[in-house]
Amino acid sequence: MNIALDFRETSVWVDAPEDLQPPLDADTRADVIIIGGGLTGLSTALCLRQAGIDVLLLEMDYCGHGASGRNAGHLTPTIGKDLQTLVKYVGRERAAQLAAFAERAVQYTEQVLADHMIECHYQPVGNIVAGLHARHRDPLRRAADLAAGIGVKSTFLDEVEMQRRGLPQTFRFGVLEGSGGHLHPGKYVMGLRRAALMAGVRICETSRVGAIDEAAIRVRVGPVTASGRKLVLATNGYTPVTLNRMGDRLFPLRDTLFRTAPLSDDQLAAIGWAGREGIYTAHESLESYRLTADRRIVGGSKFVQYGYGSTLVDGRMPALFERFRRLFSERFPELRNVEIETFWGGWIAMTLDFLPLSYANPARTVFYGMGYNGHGLAQATYNGRLLADQVLDRPNGDVDLLRRRGMPLPPEPLRWLIIHGLMRYYDSVDRRVDADLRRSSEPAPRQV
């Protein structure tokens, strides 16, 4: 089979909607202009409409076309690279506050699902950071102890508990997050889009923004303009390329995902996984796996790409897809005959401190919400509330919590060298672990 033919540019979750909204075709005014029709932009628009604000949302493709419709679907309270690194970086008190923020983001997202009656196969079963190798045990134990010490809801699961839960045998022990789960990201973002349209948000799709005049709060879309009193930028990893902004605060990484063919009854029985908890591995560059409502396994991450100058690199990489095929057969040896049907991917926005951005310019006329470091389902949704409160001049303690003096990213070529150096380092650590795992799984030599 030609591996390259298994690639899809967007994802298996979303297609252009039948009611694609017409592009901006005349000069227009609104109270607030939002650029970006993903979770952040739609959530912000809904919150503002609830306050009676006239909102115009501009999306260069269709809502959900970017990371909001391409992700793996894990709703997680993870924040920062990991809890131990976060404590080292900001201290225990602020780390506890940030962990509580991430919990609120999950709870807020669950409330959005309920308020707007969005059916997206949400399974509130939690996610497990799973250890595969003995080297993973002590870090996970320490992480669980640290979480308990600062009030984070999580539970260490030893081998006995993992077996009791019937989790796939590759995943030996782990830390269960105390909230969240997983969902169908396409149904979620399209549910938000439908709610925004019903609330009266004016959405213009296929409306790529060109020039932005921040002083006048005016943006150009082809030959026409949109003007307002305030402007929200909610374009995440696309921002440095499509808007030529935020290149000193965040950078896009290409993340690749895959989906298998549906599993048979016998195949499901072979792996167990009755609780359907989401799984991340405890590698430096994590892998993610979950079971979908239609009996498939969705997985990916681990092998990410950064393009020089924060360019949006091409995702059609047959050699990389073959690496994922081999990896999947190692993680799920019971499913060696299960085919990976489709690969896709998209761009996550990374910040140097692995924390999201939500802030305003000094004049409080332009607002920025982005940089979710792979945890966008919850944090992007919740950031809509934070951005709306800033637009409306309403106090919000979480806005203050995320406010910090950011270290600017270095210019190219130093940026490329640093990012690729870090990725090579993480990869080398993970390669040693995976090499040990392969050796331990090889059959012992026959005794003659």
Distance CA(347)–CA(9), nearest Å, equals 12
In the chain, the domains with their CATH numbers are: 3-402 (3.50.50.60)
DSSP assignment of 223-242: TEEEEEEEEEE--GGGIIII
In the block, residue with structure tokens 């039948």? 18
Global pTM reads 0.95
Q: Which regions of the chain are under pLDDT 50?
A: 1-4, 443-448
Distance of alpha carbon 314 from its chain centroid, rounded?
19
Joined tokens for residue 206 = 């296929």
Please tell me the distance from the alpha carbon of residue 336 to that of residue 175, in angstroms, as a whole number. Answer: 27
Burial of 334 (0-12, 13-18, 19+ CB in 10 A): middle
SS3 199: helix
43-77 CB burial, b ≥16 within 10 A, e <16: bbbbbbbeeebebbbbbbbbbbbbbbbbbbbbbbb
Q: Are 260 and 428 in contact (CB under 8 A)?
A: no
User: What confidence score (pLDDT) does residue 441 get?
Assistant: 76
Pairing between β-strand 287-291 and β-strand 357-360 as defined by DSSP bridges: unpaired
Burial, 206: exposed, middle or buried (Cβ in 10 Å; 0-12, 13-18, 19+)? middle
Place of tokens 């503002």: 48
Do residues 313 and 307 lie in contact, with contact meaning Cβ atoms separated by under 8 Å?
Answer: yes
Question: For the chain, what is the largest distance between any 2 Cα atoms, rounded to a whole number of angstroms?
Answer: 84
